[in-house]
Amino acid sequence: MKVLVADDDPGSLLVARAAVERPGHECLVASDGDSAWEMFQRHAPQAVVTDLMMPGMDGLELCRAIRAHGRDAYTYVIVLTSLDAEEDVLAGLRAGADDYVAKPLDPFVLHSRLLVAQRVTSLHAQLARYRAVLSEQARTDPLTGLPNRLKLTEDLEALHERAERYGQTYALAMCDVDNFKGYNDTYGHPAGDRVLQEVAAALAGSSRRADGVYRFGGEEFLLVLPNQTWVGAEAAAQRARTAVEDLAIEHSGGPAGVVTVSAGVAAFTDGHRPDLDTMLAAADKALYAAKAGGRNRVVLSS
């Protein structure tokens, strides 16, 4: 564990350093609050042991700054107080400290507090990993492994905002598996699920690294194409359509005898900068035109 000790008393600093390093922790030392704050930001220690009275930023200010810093990892803070300083203890806890150790410093007491700090910070790290996994699962379609509608909403809003702010372009291609209900009726739902997985992989494989492929819902997928014009977006949608047709998955009810997709394209370009809802509606309308025109084709929005 990495531990930062902040104290302007050389004797206390020496005792604290020995107590930290003896069980194998890495020790960083600062002799004033300003240096301690700078070292905290640079080294991100798991625990901080700080005196309350120091030159520059005092211990209470350091506690508040640590709690307001917004780090993902939790920092366990121990304040050093005098034996009879009950008000200092309460002030430190109110400022965000987790525990306190009375001066003169007892190495065994500090060692025991650091064991607690290590346990607490490890639990916080484990919880952070669980939260990250749950957040990822909440944004991933379980069948295809693609980002889902929630992730799409977040990414698309950010992309649209950047495009508006910086004058960038982007395009959307709404893709739909042709006659998918008929496929399920003929080959069964398990086979339909496998088709969706293979179509998802084909769409992702035909896209640029900067593009996004999302499960929009049911048998619909959305390609998000940053920095694309109409020409580039149409080419990207055609690559996606061809990639699915080239899978050659038998579909007796399909327009080509195999599983295919239709796509509708809308673009956010110079001279045509609609809002996000209008973009999605335009791509969806173009998709329906592709369906009406015989399927297995790409149609650009008017």
pLDDT score of 84? 64
- Identical fold between 2-138 and 149-300: no
CATH homologous superfamily of 149-300:
Reverse transcriptase/Diguanylate cyclase domain (3.30.70.270)
Which tens digits make up the pLDDT trace of 153-204? 999 999 999 999 999 999 999 999 999 999 999 999 999 999 999 999 999 9
Point out the residues that are catalytic: 219
Which tens digits make up the pLDDT trace of 166-177? 999 999 999 999
The two structure tokens encoding residue 176: 């739909």
Model confidence pTM above 0.95: no
Domain ranges of the chain: 2-138, 149-300
Say yes or no to pLDDT of 73 above 90.
no
What average pLDDT does this structure show over 134-145?
Answer: 91
| CATH class label, 2-138 | alpha beta
How sure is the predictor about 284, in pLDDT bands with cuts at 50, 70 and 90?
Answer: very high
The 8 Å CB, 24+ separation contacts for 225-230 are: 225/170, 225/171, 225/172, 225/173, 226/159, 226/168, 226/170, 227/168, 227/169, 227/170, 228/169, 228/170, 228/171, 228/267, 229/169, 229/171, 229/267, 229/269, 230/171, 230/265, 230/267, 230/269, 230/300
DSSP structural state of residue 167: T
How sure is the predictor about 72, in pLDDT bands with cuts at 50, 70 and 90?
Answer: confident
Which tens digits make up the pLDDT trace of 262-275? 999 999 998 889 99
